[in-house]
């Protein structure tokens, strides 16, 4: 009578032991993967190839957004933005969820993440949302991870790759850290893994640096998750003394501050944020309908670089502010506006201009007295370019190099001539080579004279000016992007003739 119940009890115990052993052996995770861009796509792709790590992967992405212009023609210009991660996950048949319009706090986790589970793992990779505490509490503390594209504690925040380029650092990398509640700090969790340093080149942009970091980060993620599975993962705290921040990129960051930023800073700004936020400036030129008081001097290209026999007349006269310089068939023209601020506002036209192609000027013109924001239009280049003067920082030139060039003017009753004295452009104690009256004087006019003017700075040994940038394309308000030659030709004829365009 008692044999059959005992056998049944033994069979039940054997079944429970078998189920328990299988559960212990199966260390694979149920992963809630939160991300958005191509950086997160690389990590998800690596996880899909490492099936020993996961049982299931559920993908959470930002909600779809309208991008483009609104207004009456909104339906024709607005497009729906879908995250790259969402498109990739859909292609591979993974369950996808989106952040509600009300925000991440309104997100309801799906099964199996509705209650705490030792096999649940929360992973954020370039997600763009700060996760609330109720969502974090559904995962074990050691299973809340974030893959961050910097060598923490450097560049904590929403835009680490952009700020890596903006600041000009030489190396970067990727860090796998624990997610902590917002009150403990953004990106302030303990570090589980960190990649070897990745060199940042002088030519790197956001779009060239991100793919390299994405590959490194994906490898680090898979390697570290296997250690977490085996209970071999180690962590260490971040050094708060080394912490720097990388805040979100906003529109105002794209404005070029010509009086404060050097050419290298402007060029790094373009490489770092140009993919998402155009650089922009305010362009100002005299109103063609007004006749402001101005002082315009035209200089024949024949006499621009005569380094000997410099005419000393008007030497003590102060240079006028707001110089605008242009080189044309007739030579170099320098215009000086003499008006107070109120008069400027009344007699000038100003609008916002986006700078869509920016690089360091390889052959800056020898115009040492040009003010930041001065614009030079070079028609001889193919295609034409704009050169714009930036703030001259001490780091732009060698400490042993002194630039003492001065622009001298001499007037007669019939014409005005300028010469640029180069006797003071030299290293301390050295004499410039190849400097003579015959070699420095420009004999050609027009385009050939302009080319020789630009090349002349290379004849002076030890001087390398980096306070000019080169712009090849721009975008005026409510108009498509265009080459600078087309934009320049669209300015009023009197403005082009007066050469008084400035960036402020």
Question: Per-residue pLDDT tens for 192-209?
Answer: 999 999 999 999 999 999
Q: Which helix (H) or strand (E) holds 407?
A: strand 406-411
pLDDT tens per residue, range 290-310: 544 444 333 333 333 332 332
CATH domain 26-242 topology: Rossmann fold (3.40.50)
pLDDT tens per residue, range 247-279: 999 999 999 999 999 999 999 999 999 999 999
pLDDT at residue 368 in the model: 75
pLDDT at residue 282 in the model: 96
326 strand-pairing partners: 333
Question: CB–CB of 290/346 below 8 Å?
Answer: yes
pLDDT tens per residue, range 342-389: 444 456 788 999 999 999 998 778 787 889 999 999 888 888 999 999
pLDDT tens per residue, range 64-101: 765 544 444 444 555 667 899 999 999 999 999 999 99
In angstroms, rounded to a whole number, what is the distance separating the alpha carbons of residues 131 and 150? Answer: 20
In angstroms, rounded to a whole number, what is the distance separating the alpha carbons of residues 40 and 28? Answer: 20
Give the SS3 label for residue 266: helix
Pairing of strands 171-172, 144-148: unpaired
Mean pLDDT over the full length of the chain = 76
More confident residue, 448 or 488: 488
Judge whether residue 338 has pLDDT over 50.
no
When pLDDT is averaged across residues 151-159 and rounded to a whole number, the result is 97
Residue closest to 50 by CA, chosen among 234, 220, 235, 178: 220
Judge whether residue 457 has pLDDT over 50.
no
When pLDDT is averaged across residues 329-338 and rounded to a whole number, the result is 45
pLDDT at residue 190 in the model: 98
Question: CB–CB of 185/238 below 8 Å?
Answer: no
The structural domains of the chain, with segments of one domain joined by +, span 26-242, 251-503
185: left (phi over 0), alpha (psi -120 to 50) or beta: left
Total-model pTM: 0.72
pLDDT tens per residue, range 21-74: 444 457 899 999 999 999 999 999 999 999 999 999 999 999 876 554 444 444
pLDDT at residue 396 in the model: 40
pLDDT at residue 269 in the model: 97
| Cα atoms found within 13 Å of the Cα of residue 91, Cβ hemisphere only | 10
Residue closest to 262 by CA, chosen among 186, 183, 361: 361
Q: Which helix (H) or strand (E) holds 59?
A: strand 54-61
When pLDDT is averaged across residues 442-454 and rounded to a whole number, the result is 43
């Amino acid at each position: 009578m008692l044999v059959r119940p005992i056998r049944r009890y033994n069979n039940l115990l054997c079944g429970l032991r078998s189920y328990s052993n299988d559960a212990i052996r199966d260390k694979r995770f149920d992963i809630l993967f939160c991300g958005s861009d191509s950086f997160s796509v690389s990590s998800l792709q690596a996880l899909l190839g490492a099936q020993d790590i996961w049982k299931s992967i559920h993908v959470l992405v930002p909600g779809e957004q309208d991008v483009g212009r609104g207004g009456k023609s909104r339906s024709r210009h607005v497009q729906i933005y879908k995250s790259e991660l969402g498109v990739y996950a859909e292609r591979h048949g993974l369950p996808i969820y989106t952040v509600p319009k009300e925000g991440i706090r309104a997100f309801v986790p799906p099964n199996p993440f509705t209650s705490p589970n030792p096999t649940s793992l929360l992973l954020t990779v370039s997600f763009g949302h700060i996760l609330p505490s109720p969502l974090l509490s559904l995962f074990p503390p050691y299973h809340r991870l974030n893959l961050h594209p910097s060598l923490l504690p450097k560049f904590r925040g929403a835009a680490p790759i952009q700020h890596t380029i903006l600041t000009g650092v030489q190396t970067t990398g990727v860090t796998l850290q624990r997610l902590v509640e917002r009150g403990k700090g953004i990106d302030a969790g303990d570090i589980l893994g960190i990649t070897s340093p990745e060199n940042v080149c002088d030519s790197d942009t956001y779009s060239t640096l991100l793919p390299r970091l994405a590959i490194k980060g994906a490898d680090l993620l898979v390697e570290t998750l296997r250690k977490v599975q085996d209970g071999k993962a180690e962590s260490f705290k971040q050094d708060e003394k080394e912490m720097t921040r990388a805040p979100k990129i906003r529109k105002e960051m794209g404005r070029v501050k010509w009086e404060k930023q050097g050419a290298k800073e402007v060029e790094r700004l373009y490489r770092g944020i140009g993919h998402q936020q155009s650089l922009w400036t305010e362009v100002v030129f005299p109103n063609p309908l007004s006749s402001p008081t101005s002082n315009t001097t035209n200089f024949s290209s024949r006499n621009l670089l005569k380094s000997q026999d410099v005419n000393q007349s008007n030497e003590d006269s102060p240079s006028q502010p707001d110089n605008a310089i242009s080189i044309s068939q007739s030579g170099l023209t320098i215009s000086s506006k003499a008006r107070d601020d109120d008069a400027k506002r009344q007699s000038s036209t100003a609008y916002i201009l986006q700078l869509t192609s920016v690089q360091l000027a390889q052959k800056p013109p020898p115009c040492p007295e040009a003010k930041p924001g001065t614009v030079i239009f070079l028609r001889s280049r193919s295609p034409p370019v704009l050169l714009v003067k930036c703030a001259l920082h001490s780091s732009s030139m060698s400490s042993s190099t002194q630039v003492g060039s001065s622009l001298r003017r001499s007037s007669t009753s019939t014409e005005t001539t300028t010469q640029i004295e180069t006797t003071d452009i030299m290293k301390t104690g050295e004499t410039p080579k190849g400097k003579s009256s015959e070699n420095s004087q420009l004999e050609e006019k027009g385009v050939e004279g302009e080319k020789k003017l630009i090349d002349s700075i290379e004849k002076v040994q030890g001087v390398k000016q980096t306070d000019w940038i080169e712009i090849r394309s721009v975008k005026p308000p409510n108009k498509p992007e265009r080459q600078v030659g087309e934009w320049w030709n669209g300015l009023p004829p009197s403005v082009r003739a007066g050469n008084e365009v400035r960036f402020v």
